[in-house]
Amino acid sequence: MVSTTYFAPRIIHGAGSIDKLDEACRAIRTTSLFVMLSERTKQSLANHFEQLTANGISLHFFTDFQSEPTTDHLQSALHHFELSKADGILAIGGGTALDLAKALSVLAANETLTLGDIAQQEQLDKIPLIAVPTTAGTGSEVTKVTVITDTALKRKLNPGHPALIPDGVLLDPELTLSMSPKITAETGLDALAHAIEAYVSTRATAISDTFALEAIRSIGRSIRAAYQEPQNLQARDGMLQGSMFAGLAFSNSSTNLAHATARPLGTRFLLPHGLSVALMHPYVVAFGLDAAHDRYAAIADALGTESVLVFIEELNVLFELKEEAKKLLDLDELERSIPILVDDALSGNGIETNRKIPTRQDITEIYKNLVTDLMGE
Ligand SMILES: [Zn+2]
């Protein structure tokens, strides 16, 4: 099989690497930077921004977005970017800031295109982009995918194109120390799912496998400590590196059924992405185990466990994910919505690349099992 692998061109990594922000900006030759971040991050990194200004880079801040990026946020960002006349983009934050910035970097340079057109283009111009994740994470800083909810269609769009890969990445685990245990758990399990799904995907390659197994090892040995000891810098670094490797893995392979079944929970029930994926993942592993025995054995080995399924189920219990889901979901409504969720799952990515291709009935069973378990809790 012939495959093409895409990397991020420049990754500056290590505790305190945010001090290299100036170097990252020089590398993309920007003199006017459009900065996407939360108000809180803006305050906490104020001295770094003063430094950039002192070095002759003018800054235009954009903070007008919330969790889970939408086409409305993107329109607003495009509008403000045009007004700013900036020549570079810096995104500092979780998956929301990064995914919006990636879409912006391509659409701002291709005014006639929409999000839905990106994947079909051969070559795309772009505004240079630096990505600085503050969560671990989506791995969005190194992937060629952006996930944005189309508010009109009520569907998550996830176009992929190499032009969406950020040009510079700063991976500083100190920026992730303030993640709450809940976010650490949910986004950490999402990252683990990225690596596991990439590894069992029919699109996996020898290169994506290497990233996936390293991600699984790194996250497997760090996730409990990062959750239980928020200030453990080594564990935070393990999670940040792990989510980056997981990003490289799935960006060059694919995510599969856990993501396909999780996406509708986000669009229809506004359940956070990480929580949705973490909830669905055990059912999907149980469904696919018999079709990829060797692959799951290698994953178990990387996790240092006998059973992948037991490992992730135990984490879901430790992190109290079902309790959290029950707070956010109307279970009767969820049960009634199963046919719609199945339609949504079947129409998204990750079905054809699943090692065992699920039927409509299989996906219905997976959602039913989820509802039964949540009702039984
Ligand atoms: Zn994910």
Residue 81 pLDDT more than 90?
Answer: yes
Fold of the 11-176 domain: Rossmann fold (3.40.50)
Write out the residue limits of the CATH 3.40.50.1970 domain(s) in the chain. Answer: 11-176
Residue 32 bridge partners (DSSP):
58
- pLDDT-derived band at 68 (thresholds 50, 70, 90) equals confident
Would you state the structure tokens that stand for residue 319, as one six-digit string? 């992190």
For the chain, the farthest-separated pair of C-alpha atoms sits apart, in whole angstroms, at: 61
Residue 377 pLDDT more than 70?
Answer: no
CA of 376 to the centre of ligand 1 (A): 26
CA of 156 to the centre of ligand 1 (A): 12
Write out the residue limits of the CATH 1.20.1090.10 domain(s) in the chain. Answer: 181-376
If you classify domain 181-376 with CATH, what class do you get?
mainly alpha
The model's pLDDT over 277-309, given as tens digits with 9 standing for 90+, comes to: 999 999 999 999 999 999 999 999 999 999 999
CA of 217 to the centre of ligand 1 (A): 18
CA of 44 to the centre of ligand 1 (A): 27
Would you state the structure tokens that stand for residue 243, as one six-digit string? 């989510």
Per-residue model confidence (pLDDT) at position 64: 87
Would you state the structure tokens that stand for residue 46, as one six-digit string? 């104020």
Task: Give the burial class of 201: count Cβ atoms within 10 A of its Cβ; 0-12 exposed, 13-18 middle, 19 or more buried.
Answer: buried
CA of 275 to the centre of ligand 1 (A): 9
Pairing between β-strand 155-157 and β-strand 11-13 as defined by DSSP bridges: unpaired
Would you state the structure tokens that stand for residue 251, as one six-digit string? 């960006």
CA of 49 to the centre of ligand 1 (A): 30
CA of 260 to the centre of ligand 1 (A): 10
Q: What is the mean predicted confidence (pLDDT) over 183-211?
A: 97
Say how far apart CA 368 and CA 346 lie, in whole Å: 16
Measured between alpha carbons, how far is residue 320 from residues 98, 138, 279 in Å?
27, 21, 10
Would you state the structure tokens that stand for residue 43, as one six-digit string? 């305050």
CA of 98 to the centre of ligand 1 (A): 13
81: left (phi over 0), alpha (psi -120 to 50) or beta: alpha
Residue type, 133: P
CA of 115 to the centre of ligand 1 (A): 19
Measured between alpha carbons, how far is residue 377 from residues 154, 311, 320, 353 in Å?
30, 20, 11, 32
